[in-house]
Structure 1
């Protein structure tokens, strides 16, 4: 009898992480020209890219005074812009889930990502698996989903089951923002999955940026805001946190509106 060998676990191959600079802006790449994240070197804790700024639109739906007591989670670290902003500028407890350890190392070395602490934690894991952990359920107030491979062709996780897992993470007044971008991605199909899971009344959409990034926001509990409220709240966000939110009301609307 021949004793069978214990199967060798597969070795994960991650794309190479590269850094480029353009004037005062530093970019992160995953072995291709596609920009996976950016940072203005003189202002490392601000959010540089327009679509990433729009992923902070959940601020429109909460009391500004409550923000620092909330929990933000980012799926797909990129250059760490959202995690850094939530941690340093908003004073939030912040968690990021990233699969590629090289991305984390580069963020710490080149993109001013602070070390782990009681208020900031980076988990090296598959986001689709990690978010099913019971410790996260019902604990996240602001969930940012930006999961793309090195070719930025389509979202890595984009199923109805995945969005249901995301919804389960959220507190009652929590929100998810998703970057829907990619040459092979179908925006309509992704939006339909999100609306099926969250309900059409809970979903809001931005017009695409010039680069083609379309941000979708989904609330755990639907909330209606009039255009005048959106404008007033956007102006308050811009004055308080220097995000270009005063103009969001022109390009942001409810799916069911």
Structure 2
């Protein structure tokens, strides 16, 4: 497994896997908030679903999404799957990840193996952010992988995924998603080649006026820039 390394700058602690690539971040004064833009974008499923029963993260990173969902969705089961045991240990020791309880389960396992053993239609929300040390492309991302993601999601289920790489990596993963899901959209590239996509088991009826209203509610409740997500989805729909 890649070695875990830690850095700090201007009050933010960063998780690395032995390289300069950032795998996650936590502001020390706000350990349960989402520090990185693309991590915030991974919450854009909130525009389309209110109270999921089961939220699953594939790839723990610095546990930002896991902590945020655990704190803000007290009626939801939260499962995080991480292949690197040292990442789990670092998150518990240095990134304020709570211990497991009846709602929170952090599992040391390969994400694909976990999906293959998970019951069909057992998850409402999947958040996928799987990268190794060099982070040139997702560590998992075959057609079989995305098919398994779709299999474990309910009919109303949603997936958000961080796709980091060049245009060829983006195109390949988006094509796999489109083959596995009923509808796929994505936000404009953020920085360093990140794009965040959202995939729907069942194609949604999109009302942008309603989405902007929902975005206002999300910002008020969670402090996230949800209107930017709606604007990005509008740009995607218009082909900008």
TM class, shorter-length: over 0.9
Q: Give the structure 2 partner of residue 48 of structure 1.
A: 35
Q: Give the structure 2 partner of residue 119 of structure 1.
A: 103
What SS does the corresponding residue of 1:27 show, helix, strand or coil?
A: strand
Gap runs ≥5 in structure 2: none
State how many pairs are aligned: 237
**Deviation per residue, 1:202-221 (Å, 9 max, x gap):** 21210111332100100111
Structure 2 residue 5 is the aligned partner of structure 1 residue 21? no
What SS does the corresponding residue of 2:185 show, helix, strand or coil?
A: strand
Structure 2 residue 80 is the aligned partner of structure 1 residue 96? yes
Q: Give the structure 1 partner of residue 150 of structure 2.
A: 167
1:244 pairs with 203, 221, 225, which one?
A: 225
Inter-CA distance 189–255: structure 2 relative to 1 (3 Å threshold): farther
Per the normalisation by structure 1, the TM-score is 0.88
Q: Give the structure 2 partner of residue 212 of structure 1.
A: 193
The worse-fitting range, judged by mean Cα deviation, of 178-187 and 206-215 is 178-187
Give the superposed CA RMSD. 1.6
**Deviation per residue, 1:124-143 (Å, 9 max, x gap):** 011111111144x2111110
Deviation at 1:156, TM superposition (A): 1.1
- Tell whether the 8 Å contact from 1:234 to 1:246 is kept in structure 2 after alignment: yes
Q: Give the structure 2 partner of residue 5 of structure 1.
A: none
**Deviation per residue, 1:186-233 (Å, 9 max, x gap):** 21111111111113xx21210111332100100111102122122111
Gap runs ≥5 in structure 1: 1-13
Deviation at 1:184, TM superposition (A): 8.5
